[in-house]
Each structure stands twice: as C-alpha cells, then as structure tokens.
Structure 1
C-alpha cells in the first residue's frame, strides 16, 4: 500500500509531490481527479481550470511536499 498522502486523504485541493531530480515535472494531485505530471508553465492554468477560485499562495489550499513554488531545473531543448 502506498504511503504518500494525497489531497483526498489530507483535505488539500492541490497536493504537489516532491521534486524528482530526473524530471522537469512535478506530480500534482488534484482532489477528485488524481495525479498529473505538470511543468511550471502548466501548473497555474491547470489548477485554475479545476479550482477557479483557489488561492495558490494559501497553504491550506495548495500543499507542497517540499520546496514550495520551485520546479526541477530544465532548459528548452532538453529531453
């Protein structure tokens, strides 16, 4: 059984998983929809489509597993 706490268990509408060193994405769990890999540029538009009135700076609404607001380093042209 998985030990990760997602938004369905924690009560957070948005739960951002830990940074993975070998990925440009962060896994983002959206309550009621599951988990999606999102890039920095995709994060806010996707979250706002699902939760239009969300306050992205409110830790009660958006939980970051580590490094809040940070994304893995990646540069265009990298695979």
Structure 2
C-alpha cells in the first residue's frame, strides 16, 4: 500500500452537538445512525466484528473523540 495514500475510514462520527444525547455515526455500507454512548461499541461490532474501536485510521471522529453530549435520564 502507498504510505501517502489516505485510508478510507469504515466508521465516521459526526461533529459534537450539545442539543442531543446522540452523535451521528456513519458505518460504511450502512449509512448514518444516531447513537448514544452505550450503543456505539455494540453497533460497531455488529457491522465490523474485528474492528478495534480505537483505530484512529478506520474510526474517525470529526472532533472530541470519545466524548458524548451530557444527558441524564428523564431529559428529552
């Protein structure tokens, strides 16, 4: 593989937003889906069972890696 060629991510996490408890996550071949923090890794493993969720080349965060909007039960 050409070392200068960018690797296309399998998973992309959209920009952090404070008006939702979710972050939009794109799984290659499956589209975008809003996910809460506890849903992220199980969903990733469903699409890509052998993918390391901490692989920065294949799992790309637009900003604030591993940070999710604050949410408390009972909030809309």
TM-score for the superposition, normalised by structure 2: 0.88
Q: How many residue pairs get matched? A: 70
- In structure 1, runs of 5+ residues without a counterpart are 1-9
CA RMSD of aligned residues (A): 1.0
Correspondent of 2:35 among 38, 41, 50:
38
* Poorly superposed stretches of 4+, deviation over 4 Å: none
**CA deviations over 1:33-67 (Å, ceiling 9, x no partner):** 00000000000000100000001111011000000
CA offset at residue 20 of structure 1?
1.2
- In structure 2, runs of 5+ residues without a counterpart are 1-6
Greater relative contact order structure (CA < 8 Å, 6+ sep): 2
- If each structure's helix is expressed as a fraction of its own residues, which one has the higher value? 1
1:58 maps onto 2:55 in alignment: yes
SS in 2 for 1:44: helix
TM-score for the superposition, normalised by structure 1: 0.85
